[in-house]
Amino acid sequence: MPFAAAKWPDRVAFRSNGESISYLTLLRKAEAMAVTLRAVGVKPGDRVALALYKGLEMPIAIHAIWMVGAAFVPLDPMAPVERSTQIISNCDTSVVVGAPRSSDLLQRIALENKVVVVGASIPNCDCAVPEEQVTNFVCHENARDDLAYIIFTSGSTGTPKGICHTFASGSAFAHAWLRQYGLRPSDVFFNTVPLHFDFSLADFFTPPMVGATTELVKEQVLMFPASLSQLLEESRGTIWSSVPYTFLQLCERGALEQRDLSHLRWIIYGGEPMPPSALPILRNALSAKISNSYGPAEVNQVSEYTVPNDHPTDMPIPIGHNMDHATFLRADDGELLVSSTSMMRGYWNRPDLNARCFATIKGKKYYRTGDRVKLDSEGRWVFLGREDRQAKVRGYRVELDEIELAMNSHELVSEAAAIVSPDGSKILGFAILADNQELEMSDFKGFLNSKLPGYMVPDELEFRKSFAKTSTGKINRRSLMETAK
């Protein structure tokens, strides 16, 4: 970022909610926050949590944390506080960067953890507010293999697992985007994906490399497709990466006939498959190129497929060819193994997972994705599904076992199961109540909202008297799929 500030000091780096910040101002504000982080005891190698909603505070905090040699850990501000405090404890984090808009969350975090809040004065919290500007700041020199950030995803035991990326892997991801999409100084990245979702990181890492601008879209705007399309028009966004659901909602309810979106040149979707039947809708609404991107959070994006105009609407869309920084291998059982310069260091404090997820083949380290793939007649990779119980719904990766654990933790529930609907768009939850017990569905859903992030709470819940079982006595989830309403 100092490079961007020196080369394009007055160019707009980030915009949000009608406000903007130049690259030089971003540098100065990040330096001021970095001084404050050092003052409260943050050292190279530490982890600093981010409890922030979308806004200009995000890029300032990220760069400030890196300037002192620490790694950032984004929290989901919409998730139950219990989950955030679990992550903070897991990372041995004592400093949280916040802002006035997240004051309620910060107060609740402070009740459960001994933390210092940096960035805003929050009642009932130990806080440190940065000065506006500092002089003679000396930035920490980060090595390529130093930890840059940790993204926490769902864990099958109910404990979130942290994916650790270094400056080298993050840089490789950004450079891959730079080459693949021909990015320009005139580009405006339209960021609608939350920071705790790895798909958003390209919008933060890549623009400073070319002096481009990122529009950080507030969470509330996403709730109203017509407002989203209006902001897309006003911001003159050119590059937009998100999950398929966001694009389809925009086409269906975004009042696109009233908008001039001719500046949008590339939409990049990922996180889950795009229904091929939706392609004509996108083609009719938007003139931009459409690309399918693939890559688990552990390796960042590693393949790309720019969908041609004549792609059949009754055929799955391939994940395409591996990008130039990645190598693919298909195991005998169909699992995809990936080696890339954008691959994570490993899982945070989970040597057991690290032992299972990596394989060394002919001296090269590969990540076991758990995804089943095949090559089609054109030599393109096609995604077939997951090897395990992990799933992606609306772009969020979830462990169905974690959802079941939360459902089973209710005192009136004797057995529970969670599956993904046949079309992959919804989470379906089923529960059996203990004998002679009654439970209002609204109360049960409220309970789950207190235990899980919103995107993991089943979209549909159903109480049943019994579950079909397999020959080994396990819940027959295939039968559940067949009998789901």
Q: Which two tokens stand for residue 424?
A: 């992959």
Domain end among 285, 303, 321: 285
Domain end among 285, 307, 327: 285
- Mark 440-461 as b/e (b = at least 16 C-beta within 10 Å): eeeebeebbeebbbebbbbeeb
Kindly state whether residue 291 falls inside one of the protein's structural domains. Answer: no
- List the domain range (segments joined by +) for residue 280: 2-285
133 and 278 both lie in a single domain: yes
201 and 87 both lie in a single domain: yes
CB-CB contact of 202 with 174 (8 Å): yes
pLDDT at 260: 94
Domain end among 261, 285, 309: 285
Kindly state whether residue 159 falls inside one of the protein's structural domains. Answer: yes
pLDDT at 156: 45
> Residue 380, exposed/middle/buried by CB under 10 A (0-12, 13-18, 19+)?
middle
278 and 399 both lie in a single domain: no
Count of structural domains, the chain: 2
Q: What is the DSSP letter of 469?
A: B
Distances (CA, A) of 21 to 32, 39, 57, 80, 94: 15, 25, 10, 31, 28
Residue that the structure tokens 């719904």 belong to: 393
pLDDT at 434: 80
257 and 397 both lie in a single domain: no
Strand, coil or helix: what is 352?
helix
Residues with Cβ within 8 Å of 4's Cβ and at least 6 positions away in sequence, in order, are 11, 13, 23, 208, 209, 211
pLDDT at 158: 57
Q: In whole angstroms, give the CA distance from residue 41 to residue 29.
A: 19
For every one of its 485 residues, what pLDDT tens digit does the chain have, with 9 covering 90 and above?
Answer: 678 999 999 999 999 999 999 999 999 999 999 999 999 999 999 999 999 999 999 999 999 999 999 999 999 998 889 889 999 999 999 999 999 999 999 999 998 889 999 999 999 899 999 988 888 899 999 999 999 999 998 654 456 799 999 999 999 999 999 999 999 999 999 999 999 988 899 999 999 999 999 999 999 999 899 999 999 999 999 999 998 888 888 988 899 999 999 999 999 998 877 877 778 888 888 899 999 999 999 999 999 999 998 888 777 899 999 999 999 999 998 999 999 999 999 999 999 999 999 999 999 999 999 988 999 999 999 988 777 777 888 888 887 878 887 888 888 888 889 999 888 889 999 998 987 889 999 999 999 999 899 999 999 999 999 888 763 446 888 888 888 76
Report pTM.
Answer: 0.84
Distances (CA, A) of 435 to 260, 414, 441, 466: 59, 8, 17, 11
280 and 401 both lie in a single domain: no
CB atoms within 10 A of CB 437: 11
Kindly state whether residue 365 falls inside one of the protein's structural domains. Answer: no
pLDDT at 471: 39
Kindly state whether residue 238 falls inside one of the protein's structural domains. Answer: yes
CATH number of the domain that 470 lies in? 3.30.300.30
Kindly state whether residue 309 falls inside one of the protein's structural domains. Answer: no
Q: In whole angstroms, give the CA distance from residue 455 to residue 467.
A: 25
CB-CB contact of 460 with 428 (8 Å): yes
Element (H, E) at 108: helix 103-112
Torsion sign over Cα 85, 90, 92, 93 = negative
Kindly state whether residue 111 falls inside one of the protein's structural domains. Answer: yes
Q: In whole angstroms, give the CA distance from residue 151 to residue 349.
A: 13
Kindly state whether residue 277 falls inside one of the protein's structural domains. Answer: yes
Residue that the structure tokens 């130049």 belong to: 22
Distances (CA, A) of 461 to 40, 277, 400, 405, 411: 46, 28, 14, 15, 17
DSSP letter string, 231-256: HHHHHT--EEEE-HHHHHHHHHHS-G
Q: Sort strands 303-306 and 266-269 into parallel, antiparallel or unpaired.
A: unpaired
Kindly state whether residue 330 falls inside one of the protein's structural domains. Answer: no
The CA radius of gyration of the chain, in Å to the nearest whole number, is 23
Q: Which two tokens stand for residue 70?
A: 């620490």
pLDDT at 405: 78
CB-CB contact of 240 with 261 (8 Å): no
CATH number of the domain that 132 lies in? 3.40.50.12780
Distances (CA, A) of 125 to 48, 113, 257: 16, 11, 48
Q: In whole angstroms, give the CA distance from residue 203 to residue 71.
A: 18
